[in-house]
């Protein structure tokens, strides 16, 4: 893909997983301060993780408005839209131009990813295995869903709330580092506050690829809290793409939306073609 296409796909798919951005070379992981001397004196290494494992587990739908600022190289692309999720079924991101015209959607289901050009009635379908980062079965709908629902996860596993004994907890600075005991080729780490009431950061690493997701600005939503600010980034081979997402209008269990766009009158084209066309719509 050329730089324009990369920039646009940054806005469209960075929110989903930042997996369309792949470089070469070696990136060494830096986990931040790991000096246990600065950890709280009364850290409980066996503190239960239930508060952050699946904080919205009693809810099926999550809807919010989002403002995205994606950055790739010297390119910055601001875009607004809506994010709607139905647990286990669909993640739908609708992007607007001029603040009112919906120009594109990204819809993720357990089976595939659809990128949809709403103006020109065209779409592209991409399987998770085709996303350039992987070819790994660990990157799938369930993993993306956990990232956006602000949950713990173990790549390739389901029902993490019943598998909390598979995590280890260690003090790191003023936070706690949480990670699965058995790390696979796609490794993941989580950082939480010392009392394990908020998930503050998630890191994915696959070979020389590192993706960080930082959560902050928690707001009261229903019977729990959800972050109003998400900073996501991906880096490999000296190349980096990042996105700052601000969420407003966060609501739970709103089922007044259709999980899949009717594509009966749409034409299927390749993802590269579609993103190139959309780059001319969203400056």
Q: pLDDT tens for residues 44-69?
A: 344 479 889 999 989 999 999 999 88
Share of the chain above pLDDT 70, in %: 78
Strand bridging mode 122-126 / 267-268? parallel
Strand bridging mode 113-117 / 101-108? antiparallel
Across 34-38, 48-52, 85-89, 235-239, the highest mean pLDDT is recorded for: 85-89
Domain 3-281 in CATH: superfamily? Lipoprotein localisation LolA/LolB/LppX (2.50.20.10)
Report whether pLDDT(37) > 90.
Answer: no
Measured distance CA(160)–CA(153) in Å, rounded: 6
For 218-251, what is each residue's pLDDT tens digit?
999 988 899 999 998 888 777 788 889 999 999 9
The set of residues, in sequence order, having a beta carbon less than 8 Å from that of 111 and lying 6+ positions away, is: 127, 141
Domain ranges of the chain: 3-281
> Which pLDDT does position 8 carry in this prediction?
37
Measured distance CA(277)–CA(62) in Å, rounded: 30
> Which pLDDT does position 131 carry in this prediction?
65
Work out the number of other CB atoms within 10 angstroms of the CB of residue 255: 11
Per the DSSP assignment, residues forming a β-bridge with 202 are: 190, 213
Average confidence (pLDDT) over 167-188:
90
Measured distance CA(54)–CA(49) in Å, rounded: 9
Strands (DSSP E) contained in the chain are 61-72, 75-86, 90-97, 101-108, 113-117, 122-126, 167-172, 175-180, 186-193, 199-206, 209-221, 224-236, 239-252, 267-268
Report whether pLDDT(175) > 70.
Answer: yes
Q: Which of 19-33, 70-84, 175-189 has the lowest mean pLDDT?
A: 19-33
8 A C-beta contact, residue 278 and residue 134:
no
Measured distance CA(167)–CA(217) in Å, rounded: 26
Report whether pLDDT(34) > 70.
Answer: no
Using DSSP's 3-state secondary structure scheme, residue 245 falls into strand
Average confidence (pLDDT) over 88-116:
88
What is the value of pTM for the model shown?
0.81
């Amino acid at each position: 893909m050329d730089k324009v296409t990369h920039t646009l796909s940054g806005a469209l798919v960075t929110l989903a997983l930042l997996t369309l951005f792949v470089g070469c070379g070696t990136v060494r992981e830096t986990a931040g301060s790991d000096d246990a001397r600065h950890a709280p004196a009364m850290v409980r290494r066996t503190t239960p993780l239930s508060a952050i494992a699946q904080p919205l587990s009693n809810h099926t739908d999550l809807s919010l408005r989002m403002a995205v600022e994606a950055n790739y190289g010297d390119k910055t692309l601001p875009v607004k839209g809506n994010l709607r999720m139905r647990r286990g079924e669909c993640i739908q991101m609708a992007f607007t131009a001029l603040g009112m015209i919906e120009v594109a959607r990204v819809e993720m289901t357990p089976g595939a990813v659809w990128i949809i050009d709403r103006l020109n009635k065209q779409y592209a379908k991409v399987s998770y295995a085709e996303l350039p980062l992987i070819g790994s079965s660990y990157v799938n709908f369930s993993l993306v869903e956990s990232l956006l629902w602000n949950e713990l996860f173990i790549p390739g596993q389901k029902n993490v709330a019943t598998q909390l004994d598979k995590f280890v907890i260690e003090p790191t600075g003023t936070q706690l580092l949480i990670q699965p005991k058995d790390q696979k080729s796609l490794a993941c780490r989580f950082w939480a506050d010392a009392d394990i009431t908020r998930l503050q950061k998630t890191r994915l690493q696959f070979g020389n690829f590192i993706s960080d997701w930082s959560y902050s600005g928690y707001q009261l939503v229903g019977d729990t809290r959800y972050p109003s600010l998400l900073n996501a980034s991906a880096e490999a081979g000296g190349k980096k793409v990042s996105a700052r997402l601000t969420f407003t209008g966060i609501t739970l269990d709103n089922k007044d939306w259709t999980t899949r766009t009717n594509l009966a009158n749409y034409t299927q084209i390749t993802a590269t073609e579609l993103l190139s066309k959309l780059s001319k719509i969203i400056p």
